[in-house]
Copies of this chain bind each other. A is one copy, B any other.
Amino acid sequence: MAKLLSGKEVTASLNEEIRKKTELLTAHHITPKLGIIRIGEREDDISYERGATKRCETLGVSYEKFLLPEDASEEMVLNTIAQVNEADDIHGVLLFRPLPRHLDENKIINALAVEKDIDGITDRSMASVFLGKQTGFAPCTPSACMKILDHYGIDCSGKKAVVIGRSPVVGKPAAMMLLQKNATVTICHTKTKDMPSVVKEADIVIVAAGRAGVIGADYLRAGQTVIDVGINVNEEGKLCGDVNFADAEPVVDAITPVPGGVGSVTTSVLIEHVVDAALLKAGLAIL
With a cutoff of 8 Å between Cβ atoms, the chain B residues found around residue A159 in the complex are 193
| CB-based nearest B residue for A190 | B182
Instruction: Write out the residue numbers on chain B whose beta carbons fall within 8 Å of the beta carbon of A127.
Output: 123-124, 126-127, 130
- Encode A138-181 as 1/0 by CB contact (under 8 A) with B: 00000000000000000001111000001010001001100100
Q: Say yes or no: B172 contacts A130, CB within 8 Å.
A: yes
Q: Is A108 an interface residue (CB 8 A)?
A: no
Contact A189 B184 (CB under 8 A): yes
Interface centre among A129, A160, A186 (most CB of B within 10 A): A186
Question: Is A215 interfacial (CB 8 A cutoff)?
Answer: no
Q: How many copies of the shown chain assemble into the complex? A: 2
Q: Which residues of B contact A179 (CB under 8 A)?
A: 166, 172, 187, 189
Contact, CB under 8 Å: A192 / B123: no
Closest residue on chain B to residue A175 by CB atoms: B187
**Which chain B residues lie closer than 8 Å to A187 at the CB level?**
175, 179, 184-186
Question: In whole angstroms, how far apart are the Cα atoms of A133 and B157 in the complex?
Answer: 30
Q: How far is the CB of A114 from chain B (nearest CB, A)?
A: 9
Bound complex: CA A124 to CA B130 (Å): 11
List the B side residues contacting A128 at CB < 8 Å.
123
Please tell me if A24 contacts chain B, counting CB pairs below 8 Å.
no
Asked if B126 and A158 make an inter-chain contact with CB atoms under 8 angstroms apart, the answer reads: no
With both chains docked as a complex, state the minimum distance between the C-beta of A170 and any C-beta of chain B, in angstroms.
13
Please tell me if the beta carbons of B189 and A186 are within 8 angstroms of each other in the complex: no
B198 A191 Cβ-Cβ under 8 A: no
Pairwise interchain contact A188-B198, C-beta atoms closer than 8 A = no
Give CA–CA (A132, B187) in the complex, Å: 14
**Is A131 among interface residues, defined by CB-CB distance under 8 A?**
yes
Bound Cα distance from A184 to B186, whole angstroms: 7
Indicate if the CB atoms of A192 and B186 lie closer than 8 Å: no
